[in-house]
Structure 1
Amino acid sequence: MSYDQNIRLHKIQLYFAYQRSTIGTEQYQGTFHAHQGIEVLIIHEGRGTLIVDQKSYEIIPNMVCVFQPYQLHHIQMDPETPFVRSIVHFEPSLYEPYFEPWPRLLAFFKHMHTSTLHVPCLYDLGEEKQFHLLFQSLAEKLPKLSKQDELEEYSLFLVAFFRSFMPLWEQRDGQIHSGPTRKSHQAERILSWLEEHYTEPLRLEMMSADLHLSPFHLSHLFTECTGTSISDYVTARRLQQAVKLLTSTDQAVARIGEAIGVTNCSYFCKMFKSHIGITPHQYRKQLQKHHEATFTRQS
């Protein structure tokens, strides 16, 4: 389904994969989804399209993508080419104290997960050796790593990674010309319209009139470009906003449902549990426990 929360960062300290490869029928065809925490994706091989914040970007080898907490994104890869990538995904609040001895590095670390990034991608990494060595080293250590040593190894890895990554990002931050010329994706007009109307009842007739496309062509075009339906995207966008409100406000669950366009509270809870795996109340409670545990470790 279109909203994926199956990596539970309140249960694991860091999700890591090195040079994971898929091809053909196993090819990674992502759906619109968002995560707790920050995700860094390094593309070693493969070509495709990334959609994030209603804009599209070309996916090519030798690039890195940064997805911020609860940022809705979609990746669709060419099934004719191998898709090889490395991934690191973690809750930034857990690791922030380990960056404190280095104020400039700490400021960059905070910027990457709290500030509005001009672009989510960095192209043409040049020599990837520094990243390969970091990821390979952790991959080799993981099978032998004891539970009590995990946090230390993960924190050392992240400090080293962001130290290597910082000069590359600062050199090209906001420089869209550092990668391929961004081509307007056919679905971008539809996504922009949905961003303005996702909290309202979905009416294809009104959308097709505003965008000057027939309802059939509208649905077909969106599915062809993104691999998911308009209704699935709207559900994903509503859930993204619901999670954001659950984690950043103390609004009642019923009020949050209304804010995302689902006025029936029981239906909102059922929809949330169907896609996230737990109810909104349970989600908020688990997150509060996670923050309390993190605060206890840091104090």
Structure 2
Amino acid sequence: MRPPFHIRPLEAHYSENGTSMKFHSHTHFELYYFHGGKANYLIGDKIFVLSPGDLILMHGMTLHCPNVDTSVPYRRTIVHFDPAFIKPFTEAPFAINVLQPFYEMKNVRLHLEGTARIEVEAMLEKMCRLSFEDGALSRDRLIVAFLDLMLLVYERCQSSDAPPVFPSDKERHAQNIIDFVEEHYHEDLHLEQLEERLHLNKYYLSKLFKEVTGATIFDYVYHRRINQSKIHFVLDRDMSVTDVCYKVGFKHPSHFTRMFKSRVGCTPEQFRKQAAFT
């Protein structure tokens, strides 16, 4: 079984693969840059309708998933990094804590234009190339390039307070559904509750949510519960599997175990034991 925490401490990867992805989370932080295509990105309790030049900062443990229109060419670059690996570069003699935006803003989108966009794309291209080269020199150059990028990101975050923009009512309604789920995911949920809360037909809500996010409403609810259980296993290590099961909204431990394993690849108990050694 593959350990649930395995990833290199710093890597950059460019892709033109527009295949669908499932909801996921990880202990590493992430920078996601959207070069082009047509996609929405669901991160935690927010939907981002992407435009070329969007740079997203993600706290990895937040549930996230892109919904890509595969009929349109899709290009993106992802940078994963372990904050513990980067932390020594945030302390004296360095003056700026480049991790601060990830801890304080958690998940935020920056839109880049003009020279800033050209500069960031050149940095990302360099990092992708260095990520696939062997040797200590390439590794050190990758770290330096990454820190340069992070300083630019830090600077941009100081002036970023743009609210989410939705091109149509469908995205806005999907966001309202996510807001409701975020507030009530640990409760016994029914579509009738959404129908009453949003004053829209439950079948219409189900259809538009699937169209915008690529997932059904209850698939999202289950992923949200599983992701929250992973957070409890990492942060609340005295909690038993049964306690976590009920806390995140499952009624039966057997159902929780089955759903957890199908999405994470191991049982809750195996994940809990693995988390104790990280």
TM-score, with structure 2 as normaliser: 0.84
Q: After superposition, what is the alpha-carbon deviation per residue over 1:123-152, rounded to whole angstroms, capped at 9, x for unaligned? A: 134223333333333333344314x67764
Partner of 1:141: 130
Q: Would you say the 8 A contact 2:4–2:271 is kept in 1? A: no
The one-letter code of the counterpart of 1:280 is P
SS in 1 for 2:231: helix
**CA pair 139-214 structure 1, distance change in 2 beyond 3 A:** closer
Q: Would you say the 8 A contact 1:28–1:83 is kept in 2? A: no
Quote how far apart the aligned CAs of 1:249 are. 1.0
Q: After superposition, what is the alpha-carbon deviation per residue over 1:200-223, rounded to whole angstroms, capped at 9, x for unaligned? A: 223223332333333322322221
Partner of 1:232: 219
Is residue 96 of structure 1 aligned with residue 61 of structure 2?
no
Q: After superposition, what is the alpha-carbon deviation per residue over 1:171-210, rounded to whole angstroms, capped at 9, x for unaligned? A: x32144xxx8445622122222222221122322333233
SS in 1 for 2:189: coil
Is residue 191 of structure 1 aligned with residue 191 of structure 2?
no
Partner of 2:46: 55
Q: After superposition, what is the alpha-carbon deviation per residue over 1:93-115, rounded to whole angstroms, capped at 9, x for unaligned? A: 22211332354422x31x22221
Residues 64-213 of structure 1 aligned to structure 2 (within 5 Å): 64-106=55-97, 108-109=98-99, 111-117=100-106, 120-127=108-115, 128-146=117-135, 152-170=140-158, 172-176=159-163, 181-183=165-167, 185-213=172-200
Is residue 10 of structure 1 aligned with residue 6 of structure 2?
yes
Q: Would you say the 8 A contact 1:69–1:113 is kept in 2? A: no
Stretches of structure 1 that go unaligned for 5 or more consecutive residues are 1-5, 291-299
TM-score, with structure 1 as normaliser: 0.79
Q: Which moved more, 1:36-45 or 1:131-140?
A: 131-140
> How far apart, CA to CA, are the structure 1 residues paired with 2:138 and 2:271?
25
> How far apart, CA to CA, are the structure 2 residues paired with 1:87 and 1:11?
13
Quote how far apart the aligned CAs of 1:161 are. 1.8
Residues 234-249 of structure 1 aligned to structure 2 (within 5 Å): 234-249=221-236
Indicate the percent of aligned positions where both proteins have the same amino acid.
25
Partner of 1:21: 16
> How far apart, CA to CA, are the structure 2 residues paired with 1:191 and 1:56?
9
Quote how far apart the aligned CAs of 1:242 are. 0.6
Partner of 1:297: none
The one-letter code of the counterpart of 1:189 is N
Q: Would you say the 8 A contact 1:254–1:263 is kept in 2? A: no
Partner of 1:283: 271
Q: Which moved more, 1:190-199 or 1:94-103?
A: 94-103
Stretches of structure 2 that go unaligned for 5 or more consecutive residues are none
The one-letter code of the counterpart of 1:116 is M
Count of residue correspondences: 272
SS in 2 for 1:69: coil
SS in 1 for 2:78: strand
SS in 2 for 1:185: helix
Root mean square deviation of aligned Cα: 2.7
**CA pair 162-217 structure 1, distance change in 2 beyond 3 A:** same
The one-letter code of the counterpart of 1:141 is L
> How far apart, CA to CA, are the structure 1 residues paired with 2:8 and 2:40?
29
Q: Which moved more, 1:92-101 or 1:233-242?
A: 92-101
> How far apart, CA to CA, are the structure 2 residues paired with 1:151 and 1:161?
15
Q: Would you say the 8 A contact 2:37–2:72 is kept in 1? A: yes
SS in 2 for 1:145: coil
SS in 1 for 2:25: coil
**CA pair 192-135 structure 1, distance change in 2 beyond 3 A:** closer
Query: Which of 219, 240, 244 is the aligned partner of 1:256?
Result: 244
**CA pair 252-131 structure 1, distance change in 2 beyond 3 A:** same
The one-letter code of the counterpart of 1:51 is L
Query: Which of 29, 35, 40 is the aligned partner of 1:44?
Result: 35
